[in-house]
Structure 1
Amino acid sequence: MPKVIFREERCKGCRLCTAACPAGIVVMDESRLNAKGFQPAVVTDMEKCRGCALCARVCPDLVIEVEK
């Protein structure tokens, strides 16, 4: 099963990853802020992750890493 790792301290909340995820499981964590004051992106259900890494490819700040 793929594993998605977020470097949340780098996330600026641009939401490109949420739009790119075909499974719709990358969302912004509205319950907290990172050190920069942005809502960080998270995966809601890792079981549904296909490991396509589209989220990582569109991230301009290299926040996301997908391990297969």
Structure 2
Amino acid sequence: MAESTGSTKARRVKGSTAAPEPTVGKTQESEAAEAAISEGEGRKKTKRSFDIAIFSGWCKGCGICAAFCPRECIAMGEDGNPVVQDADRCTGCGFCEIHCPDFAISVRARKTASSDQD
């Protein structure tokens, strides 16, 4: 029984005398993380805008598009047909387009004018 406890102690000693990991790798990782953060701060995040088109000739007024819109961009009008209430709130998720049984809705990214035109 004395031998088994001695071998256990020997294993513990070996585990505690293991060489520490070099700190050079950690420094390089932290420098890379700091560079990525500073690079991200320099970029401006632009909000993408989307246009919602409802083809009234194809629409039967089921209301699925208004029900599925998470940003409430589409609402049901007084006549029972969907209307674009606030297209600027649209995130382009496409739920309305995907769930429309009549393929009467189209969501497309707005084309922006280039800033280098004078």
From 33, 37, 50, the equivalent of 2:91 is 50
From 52, 60, 69, the equivalent of 1:21 is 69
Give the TM-score of the pair, scaled to structure 1.
Answer: 0.81
Say if 2:63 and 2:81, in contact at 8 Å, map to a contact too: no
1:4 maps to amino acid = I
Structure 1: 4+ residue segments shifted above 4 A = none
Instruction: Flag the structure with higher helix content.
Output: 2
| Whole-angstrom CA distance in 1 between matches of 2:63 and 2:52 | 16
Q: Percent identity?
A: 36
Instruction: Flag the structure with higher strand content.
Output: 1
| Structure 2: gaps of 5 or more residues | 1-48, 110-118
Aligned pairs, number: 61
| Whole-angstrom CA distance in 1 between matches of 2:88 and 2:96 | 16
| Whole-angstrom CA distance in 2 between matches of 1:46 and 1:15 | 17
Cα RMSD, aligned residues only: 1.0
From 49, 52, 75, the equivalent of 1:4 is 52
Q: Taking CA–CA contacts closer than 8 Å with sequence separation of 6 or more, which of the two structures ends up with the larger relative contact order?
A: 1
Give the TM-score of the pair, scaled to structure 2.
Answer: 0.49
Report the CA distance between 1:46 and its aligned residue.
1.0
| Whole-angstrom CA distance in 2 between matches of 1:9 and 1:19 | 20
| Structure 1: gaps of 5 or more residues | 33-38
Larger Rg: 2
